[in-house]
């Protein structure tokens, strides 16, 4: 995942779920913000780089290192903000030069990628950076450590390494990593600040539309899920009621005989179906109907036992549901 210089933090750990992407971008844009904003989610991180209020870069990297940028990254960010349910937003103000370097790191041209330091003449490489007056970032890393050196027009702006709170002027950490066995380098070059300033993703992409479409899609997804859940619940309730109805029929049949099932059917239909079994008032009416019919068929002792059994069965069923 990205490890970027924090610069001057404006906001940290803002809950993403409470934010609206168009509002955030509008605020950063109209405020002429320079720096970057990071959105940290469980599955991925999104970096938006601003230069004087212009969105010059948008990059998403997921847990597996897969990257998306530009419009795709913005769409994915909108989706993550709407659907993830968690996440934090940080906003760091940086100097124009450092912003340029961040842009280089994220989206600049890759001149060297995973080159082993021991196979490279580092002095001539640094000489080339100086001579070519390059803007960019040199990343030195091993499997466990990493450090970055930011350049502007060939001159180092500063050093950044793991655990750094900010750009540092000391190169000792970078040198230490460079001395580790298996150290590698990446070299990224970017355009000048003036050229970067020409890009503004906010003009290219209709953020409001992306956001609205994402919200609508998410809402429809929620609606669909709710509907499915309701249908599932309804099915489960129907099944439970059918089982309860069968239990009631078995009990009444046990005492009254085979006509018991018919009596239950008739009373259920007169009391609005088997849902009356879980409604207190309707169930009392149902029981009274069963008792009235049973009086024509069985003894008072058996009626009493049957009614007690029915009542306890329904009480258990109600407490279970």
Partner 1 sequence: MEKFFELLTHMNPFDLVQVIFWGMAGAISFYFSMGNARVWTSISIGFFLIFLSQAYGINPWGHYQKLTAFHYIVGTVAIMMITHGFLEYYVFCRTFEISGNKLIVYLSTLGILAASGVFLMINPNPSPNTIRNIRMVENAIWVFLCVMNIELVRKIYLAIKDSDISKGFIAFGLVFFFIFLWKGSELYLQIFQWDQDWQDIIALMSDESTDFDQYPARIQFSQEVRRYAGLLSGISVGGTFTYIYRLLK
Contact positions vs partner 1 (CB under 8 A)? 256-259, 262-263, 265-267, 292-293, 295-302
Q: How far is CA 320 from CA 16, 26, 43, 243, 309, in A?
A: 39, 52, 38, 13, 17
Least distance from partner 1 to the Cβ atom of residue 240, Å: 25
- The span from the CA of 83 to the CA of 21, in Å, is 13
Nearer to partner 1, 257 or 272 (CB): 257
- The span from the CA of 146 to the CA of 183, in Å, is 9
Nearer to partner 1, 196 or 263 (CB): 263
Least distance from partner 1 to the Cβ atom of residue 241, Å: 21
**Which long-range contacts does 114-120 make (Cβ < 8 Å, 24+ apart)?**
114/184, 114/186, 115/184, 115/185, 115/186, 116/182, 116/183, 116/184, 117/178, 117/183, 117/184, 117/185, 118/183, 120/185
**CB under 8 Å to 246, separation ≥6 — which residues?**
none
Nearer to partner 1, 132 or 291 (CB): 291
Least distance from partner 1 to the Cβ atom of residue 270, Å: 9
Least distance from partner 1 to the Cβ atom of residue 313, Å: 21
Radius of gyration of the chain (CA): 35
Least distance from partner 1 to the Cβ atom of residue 274, Å: 16
- Token readout for 288 is 């009274």
Nearer to partner 1, 133 or 266 (CB): 266
Least distance from partner 1 to the Cβ atom of residue 263, Å: 5
- The span from the CA of 197 to the CA of 192, in Å, is 9
Nearer to partner 1, 299 or 312 (CB): 299
Q: Beta-carbon neighbour count of residue 148 at 10 Å?
A: 25
Nearer to partner 1, 123 or 301 (CB): 301
Least distance from partner 1 to the Cβ atom of residue 252, Å: 11
Nearer to partner 1, 197 or 298 (CB): 298
Rounded to a whole number of angstroms, the distance between the first and last alpha carbons of the chain is 47
Taking alpha carbons only, the member of 302, 304, 298, 266 closest to residue 285 is 266
Nearer to partner 1, 156 or 262 (CB): 262
Taking alpha carbons only, the member of 195, 205, 190 closest to residue 150 is 190
Nearer to partner 1, 147 or 264 (CB): 264
Q: Pairing relation of β-strands 184-190 and 135-141? A: antiparallel
Least distance from partner 1 to the Cβ atom of residue 267, Å: 8
Least distance from partner 1 to the Cβ atom of residue 244, Å: 20
- The span from the CA of 119 to the CA of 23, in Å, is 49
């Amino acid at each position: 995942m990205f490890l970027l210089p924090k610069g001057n933090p404006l906001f940290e750990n803002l809950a993403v779920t409470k934010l609206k992407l168009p509002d955030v971008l509008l605020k950063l844009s109209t405020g002429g913000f320079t720096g970057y904003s990071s959105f940290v989610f469980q599955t991925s991180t999104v970096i938006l780089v601003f230069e004087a209020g212009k969105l010059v870069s948008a990059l998403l990297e997921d847990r597996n290192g897969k990257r998306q940028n530009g419009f795709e990254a913005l769409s994915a960010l909108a989706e993550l903000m709407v659907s993830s349910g968690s996440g934090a937003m940080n906003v760091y103000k940086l100097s124009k030069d450092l912003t340029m370097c961040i842009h280089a790191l994220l989206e600049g041209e890759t001149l060297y990628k995973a080159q082993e330091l021991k196979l490279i003449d580092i002095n001539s490489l640094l000489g080339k950076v100086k001579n070519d007056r390059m803007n960019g970032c040199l990343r030195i890393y091993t499997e466990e450590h990493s450090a970055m050196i930011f350049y502007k027009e060939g001159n180092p702006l500063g050093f950044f390494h793991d655990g750094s709170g900010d750009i540092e002027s000391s190169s000792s950490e970078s040198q230490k990593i460079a001395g580790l066995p298996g150290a590698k380098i990446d070299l990224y070059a970017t355009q000048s600040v003036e050229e970067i300033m020409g890009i503004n993703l906010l003009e290219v992409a209709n953020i409001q539309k992306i956001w609205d479409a994402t919200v609508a899609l998410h809402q429809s997804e929620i609606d669909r899920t709710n509907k499915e859940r309701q249908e599932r619940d309804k099915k489960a309730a129907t099944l439970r009621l059918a089982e309860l109805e069968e239990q009631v029929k078995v009990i009444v049949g046990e005492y009254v005989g085979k006509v018991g099932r018919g009596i239950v059917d008739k009373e259920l239909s007169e009391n609005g179906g088997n849902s009356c079994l879980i409604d207190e008032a309707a169930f009392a009416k149902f029981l009274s109907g069963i008792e009235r019919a049973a009086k024509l068929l069985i003894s008072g002792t058996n009626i009493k036992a049957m009614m007690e059994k029915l009542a306890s069965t329904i009480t258990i069923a109600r407490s279970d549901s």
